[in-house]
Structure 1
């Protein structure tokens, strides 16, 4: 810089604004912090703020006012004071809302005496080991759930002392503890809360007669569906949590197998019993499951999950994926939101509901599902069905799509045939019955080993339809089945050209497998569960029939009826004696007025639009949010397919498998079992069942499952299944 003295300019070195050792944080702003933690802020060399060592409140106030006065940036102040920038941002918000008092660093929490005594801590640990939830323990002791967590973290959960039991020894010579309790995992829970753990690893709880352990037989079949792999691949990792993706999915799987397919059903299961199956100390609570599933739903990847499962299913079951069944399933809604209506066939009424379109394979196992648009017809949905199936099977195969009369459209049949698909459906509308002498007997042995006998008539037909205002005909095949008892004929339309019509008839009549799939899923897997209360606004561009059009048509019908009555009365009166010209004119004028009113009503009705945007009729129109629902459905479908695979494995070993396979599996799922590890194997020894023949079938199933060499998820332990000697 330069100064002028006696008319001459002299150059001078700039003087330092801040004292030695200070740190500049802005133009003319320096901060000096001594070894004890006391600090000062200098503005252009003048001390403006000061805080003593240990006076954190004054330090916070200086930092906030430096930034608020725009003397320095938030980042620079945070760096020189050793703060996180978000912390300083939070202080500024507190200061803005409550003033200086909000920056006072007082001890948080209760100001009274500490409630957590040693006796209380031991009581908390004991109750937690007994399966009580954190909320129940906190309410019983009059403390917060955070206090309960601190007590659990400060004391180790006592390990049960082994008590010998005759016949409970493992193959390694160890004695298994009856009803052994898993070790506490509070240290890992604390690590997850700090963000240092993303999913606790499974730790096997070895013990004898462990409840619900029979449900572990599902794991080999579940691994074949690829559910766990698909969940890990499709969804992005969530924030650190004690319950990882594996634990979350297996919780829902095991809960469904033992009869609680909905999230709230976890309140009716012992969390410790379910936790043993997960390799944890306890299963997650309802709130945690809902939060985690909602977080996954926000990623909006349910369709990708289903496609990953469908690809795995088609690759593993090529023999069942030459035929696909398609049908819609209506989920009734009983809430307060303005959801579009749909016809619920099973209760024969129209009510708020959502329509799901399902695709199943030739054995009735679920493959794909999506939420259809309101009012969607099966004819319209079949176009998307064809696209989805083509992506699954590839360009070189010609699969068969089977559906009911709701998809009747010869024009669509022609499009599907040209696109490389065969179709099969029931013929719609009345047709001339086939003569009795056209029917011949056909037999086949179906995929379940049963002999099917049909009386069939087979011939080619041409179905008329209109395309681009041009009349055309579609050539196809008609197979008619005759019921010898009632004489009823059932017509099947197909494009398949197999020489023997019996397999085609069997495939068409087996469409009930998909109906059975819906029925079983509703009863045992909560297919119609809401799963989330969230809704999304309906598409404002979607149009619906205008109710004003219907009301106008009603007024026209009433006016026509009144005019017809008046004309009839006038006609009868015209023949009666005593009529005068003046009276005739009055009657004629009245009739002219009615005719004019009727014409005006017709003109006004023609001006009313037939369809209007849905928001004009129902401003609060909404749709059920299916993001979370689709993930639950994928887990349920994979679990159902796994259970069905076990039922098929039972068929050669159980004579009544066609009628009792699933009831036998339900008994296995809820049976106790011994669990122990030896030589890198996880041994599951299931208790005998209700009668010897069921136990023998279980042992044969165990042998088949052991042969798969499946690993317990998250470990390198090979699953080995056996049964106890009765």
Structure 2
């Protein structure tokens, strides 16, 4: 319900609109008409008191007073009680002050100049005695239906591309109205009053900041990020921005390395909004609210997206078994909302409070899914209690007829690190038609050198390495007494002083040792993914300060047992140190076995022996006490100060899935660069990061419905050639901007650039 001031400076007129139609007008000195209008709209729940106060420049207390008076008289104006003769704001003083205020003078200046208290002048304004023309947004044709709502309130024609300076001026001017960069007044008003949705409508723009990030849209579309947005639409039913806008914004944030919504405060909202065909992006608090709504109702959308990724991997690996990589990643928590249980982190080399995220990746390191475990019982329990149910939904199986005729059919191949190195675990996985591969722990026997042969191993990413490999068929004894047949592959590394052998075991007997070594050592792609995502995408960032309850029947490690075990380990550490000192004492004894030195050494040995005997007794006592304490108890059995809850996961899971899609899109573009040019390591990703941050010109063509993105050149000629090749490939994809009918066209800004593209 926008307001507009019109009329001469002496007689300001306030006009009220509803759905672009005028419903009331009155002069500013007509207090009765003003009060009746305020009461009618506020009492009918058509507008809030806060919006009326902000629009009319009145205090909130005055609005409440008006509502009380009008309710007491049932909406009829009351005869205002005459006040006593004004001692300060006399008629002469009021006339002079109104004349000065009409010239744009400020209340603070007049208070100092006239020697009048500033609060007195403000009371005069609130009572309507003094007419203070408050700054309001400039009225333009776009505000009253004379031009499309998407047209910016600027003096340049629609066909003329706006420069960065012009756009910045428009955004600043809009801050006096609805807010910074809120230039689509009608569209936002209809969204507030009638639930209208924001529509992507692009404007010609020169040097649009971070316009190069639009080159990632075709790859994001190929990953299926926008394919099932209808499943999130219901969650954002009463919201101004659409689900597609939310997904595009989150993807842009990931690609531009904006790691959390709070960091958006340092980025121009208008420039980011124009990348999506909007006037601006949602404010941080609004974005948090959108994430809460979408995260709570996005499980089906996540399920379809993850299932599509698994099915695509099955097609890519049609000539081989589906290969999945499983590993745990510790998400460290340093807050004080809840005392999360501690767990050992190999990355930090100490026990830290946090959550264990179990990630599933493919052989190239691309993410497929993740689950978070506040109470981590280990990889084996997580696989059988939770991951198997998820894989049943996502991972394709052979046809039912094939499974009936082939009892030994294989579902997929699972590769993990030493955390799951157990013969019993491998045997149980095989019963579920899952072939496993891992490292073997505590290998003592060394194979002879003549069994090893030098071979060339090609990793899934195409890197070739020379290795010394050997293989054998062996049997492993499980803790439950069963025997598990496995193939063992050894890799030998010859150093300057000794040779080291790495043992790999697998239940997949069809694997050759070359292919098996390539698959096992490709697990480093998953480790590199964790490191890259934590540094670049903010994988471990806390996105919401909320918790959710856990079942009190959950089993957790008993704090008393943990403390007793800690004492046992401390005593054992002291014993190990004393045993070393005792063994070294033999070397220090004099050979003749005589003299004061010999007697002194023997006395020292006796002291060590007595101390060892004392610690051994203490150790046995602690072990006996440890056996009496139950290792696991229920969460409800913990003391109040030890009981913990889980961190809320909905918002983080939703954002993490978008980050996974952004990483997969970036990986796809990186692989294209490796095909065209000799890019070493992460050089391709570095080039893409620069490309995403480059400014670009946007040129929409309403006749052909094409949106041309002209990216500015990169610093080096080689990088420009790569970017040009990327643009050519993207144009062949015939991609449409998500949620619109605009076909995307890409090109690089060059010296002989043809503007008629």
Fold similarity call, TM over 0.5: yes
- TM-superposition CA deviations, 1:578-614 (whole Å, max 9, x none): xxxxxxxxxxxxxxxxxxxx99999998775443333
Pick aligned residue for 2:553 from 534, 538, 541? 541
1:54-73 matches, cutoff 5 A:
none
Question: Does structure 1 retain, via aligned residues, the 8 Å contact 2:486–2:509?
Answer: no
Indicate the SS of the match to 1:346: coil
- The one of 707, 710, 714 aligned to 2:732: 707
Looking at structure 1, the residues matched to 200 and 135 of structure 2 have their Cα atoms a distance apart, in angstroms, of 21
Instruction: Please name the residue that 2:670 is paired with.
Output: 647
Over 3 Å counting, the alpha-carbon distance change for 1:342 and 1:152 in structure 2 is: farther
* TM-score normalised by length of structure 2: 0.67
Following the alignment from structure 1 to structure 2, what is the Cα–Cα distance between the partners of residues 362 and 687? 35
CA spacing shift, 1:377–1:214, aligned 2, 3 Å: same
Q: Does 2:154 align with 1:159?
A: yes
Secondary structure of 1:478's aligned partner: strand
In 2 relative to 1, CA 83–613 (structure 1 residues): closer, same or farther, beyond 3 Å? same
1:385 and 2:387 are equivalent in the alignment: yes
Match of 1:224 in 2: 222
The alpha carbon displacement at 1:463 in A equals 0.6
Whether the 8 Å contact between 1:342 and 1:374 is mirrored in structure 2 is no
Residue by residue over 1:17-54, the C-alpha shift from the partner in whole angstroms, topping out at 9 and shown as x without a partner, is xxxxxxxxxxxxxxxxxxxxxxxxxxxxxxxxxxxxxx
Q: Please say if residues 275 and 282 of structure 1, whose CA atoms lie closer than 8 Å, have aligned partners that are also in contact.
A: yes
Deviations 1:432-458 (A, max 9, x none): 111111111222444444333221111
> Paired residue for 1:662, among 668, 685, 693?
685
CA distance in 2, matches of 1:549, 1:714: 57
Deviations 1:542-600 (A, max 9, x none): 233334456678999999x9xxxxxxxxxxxxxxxxxxxxxxxxxxxxxxxxxxxx999
Q: Deviations over 1:226-246 (max 9, x none)?
A: 112234325634232221111
Measured at CA, do residues 83 and 148 of structure 1 come closer, stay the same or move farther in structure 2, by a change above 3 Å? closer
| Residues 276, 502 of structure 1: alpha-carbon distance in 2 compared, 3 angstrom cutoff | same
Q: 2:195, 2:240 within 8 Å by CA — same for their partners in 1?
A: no
* CA separation of 1:382 and 1:103: change in aligned 2, threshold 3 A: same
Matched, 1:178 2:190: no
User: Hey, what's the Cα distance between the residues in 2 that align with 1:235 and 1:675?
Assistant: 28
1:539/1:698 Cα in 2 relative to 1: closer, same or farther (>3 Å)? Answer: same
Supply the distance in 2 between the matched residues of 1:517 and 1:552 (Cα, whole angstroms). 38
Q: How far apart are residue 699 of structure 1 and its match? A: 0.5
Specify the alignment match of 2:345 in structure 1: 344
Shift of 1:294: 1.3
Shift of 1:690: 0.6
Residue in 2 aligned with 1:307? 303
- Cα deviation, residue 259, structure 1: 2.2
Q: Distance in 1 between matches of 2:447 and 2:658?
A: 47
Q: Does 1:617 align with 2:615?
A: no
Distance of 1:558 and 1:431 partners within structure 2:
27
Aligned to 2:369: 368
SS at match of 2:499: coil
Using the TM superposition, give the Cα deviation of residue 462 of structure 1 relative to its aligned residue in structure 2, in angstroms. 0.4
Partner of 1:482: 492
Task: Trace 1:524-673 onto structure 2 (pairs within 5 A).
Answer: 524-549=536-561, 609-615=630-636, 616-619=638-641, 620-673=643-696
Query: Separation in 1 of the partners of 2:718 and 2:569?
Result: 71
Separation in structure 2 between the aligned mates of residue 270 and residue 322 of structure 1, nearest angstrom: 44
Contact 1:162 1:177 in 2 (8 A): no
Q: SS at 1:330's partner residue?
A: strand
Aligned length in residues = 559
Cα distance per residue 1:162-205 (max 9 Å; x no partner): 69xxxxxxxxxx664433638921111111111331x3110112
Instruction: State the distance in 1 between where 2:533 and 2:570 align.
Output: 49
| Corresponding residue for residue 577 of structure 2 | none
2:301 alignment partner, SS class: helix
CA distance in 2, matches of 1:605, 1:459: 42
1:459 aligned onto 2:472? yes
The question of whether the paired residues in 2 share the 8 Å contact of 1:211 and 1:670 is answered with yes
Secondary structure of 1:230's partner?
Answer: coil
Aligned equivalents of 2:564 and 2:457: distance in 1? 59
Pairing 1:334–2:334 present: yes
* TM-score where L is the length of structure 1: 0.69
Q: Is the 8 A contact 1:193 1:240 kept in 2?
A: no
Q: Cα 1:550–1:628, aligned 2, differ >3 Å: closer, same or farther?
A: closer
Equivalent residue number for residue 293 of structure 2: 295
SS in 1 for 2:551: coil
Structure 2 gap ranges (5+): 1-34, 49-64, 81-88, 105-125, 127-132, 144-151, 171-181, 399-409, 575-618, 752-757
Report if aligned partners of 1:382, 1:407 keep a CA contact under 8 Å in 2: no
Higher alpha-carbon Rg = 1
C-alpha separation between the residues in 2 aligned to 1:196 and 1:361? Answer: 43
Which runs of 5 or more residues in structure 1 are unaligned?
A: 1-54, 61-81, 88-97, 121-141, 164-173, 562-597
Give the whole-Å Cα distance in 2 for the aligned partners of 1:307 and 1:216: 26
**CA 1:447–1:361 in 2, change beyond 3 Å: closer, same or farther?**
closer
Q: By how many angstroms is 1:526 displaced?
A: 1.1
Q: Aligned pair in 2 of structure 1 residues 286, 440: CA closer, same or farther (>3 Å)?
A: same
**Change over 3 Å in CA distance of 1:599–1:437 after alignment to 2:** closer
Q: Secondary structure at the match of 1:454?
A: strand
Q: Whole-Å Cα distance in 1 between the matches of residues 103 and 673 of structure 2?
A: 53
- CA offsets 1:440-490 (integer angstroms, 9 cap, x no match): 1222444444333221111101010133xxx22100100001113352111
2:268 to 267, 270, 274: 270
Distance 2:566 2:461 in 1: 57
Once residues 725 and 353 of structure 2 are traced to their aligned partners in structure 1, the CA distance between those partners, rounded to angstroms, is 48
Q: Check if 1:195 corresponds to 2:208.
A: no
Q: Find the partner of 1:473 among 466, 483, 501.
A: 483
Could you tell me which residue of structure 2 aligns to residue 691 of structure 1?
Answer: 716
Q: Are residues 1:681 and 2:706 paired?
A: yes
Other-structure match for 1:719: 744
SS in 2 for 1:357: strand
Query: Which of 316, 319, 327 is residue 316 of structure 2 equivalent to?
Result: 319
Could you list the per-position Cα deviations for residues 601-655 of structure 1 after superposition, in whole angstroms to 9, with x for gaps in the alignment?
9999877544333342345511111111100111111111111111111112232
Task: Tell me how far apart the structure 1 counterparts of residues 731 and 425 of structure 2 sit (CA, whole Å).
Answer: 48
